Amino acid sequence: RIKAIESPNKDDDTQWLTYWVVYGIFSIAEFFSDIFLSWFPFYYMLKCGFLLWCMAPSPSNGAEFLYHRIIRPFFLKHEAQLDSVVKDLKDKA
């Protein structure tokens, strides 16, 4: 999905691809921390608010903000390593 966002051919789906990349990373992080976070009061309301902020139909929604500030710089820095890991996984499959 990140490759689709960074491609030169930009379509209407860029906003939703960005959202799904952020949501996927959020889901992975939540998988490991959910047992602890679920004990906090209003966790599920905050989670719902966070996801609504990420999909808000505004130019400065949360998914765009998080993608351009955190995810994109990390991906661009480690793109070659991530590509080699994916290639190795494809070869093993």
CA dihedral 38, 42, 46, 47 (to 10 degrees): 30
- Given phi > 0 = left and psi -120 to 50 = alpha, else beta, which region is 42? left
Paired tokens of 63? 């998914």
Enumerate residues 6+ apart whose C-beta is below 8 A from 75.
2, 82
78: confidence class by pLDDT, cuts 50, 70, 90: very high
Range 61-77 burial, b when 16+ CB lie within 10 A, else e: bbbbebbeeebbeebee
* Chain segment 7-60, per-residue pLDDT in tens: 676 655 777 888 999 999 999 999 999 888 888 899 999 999 999 999 888 877
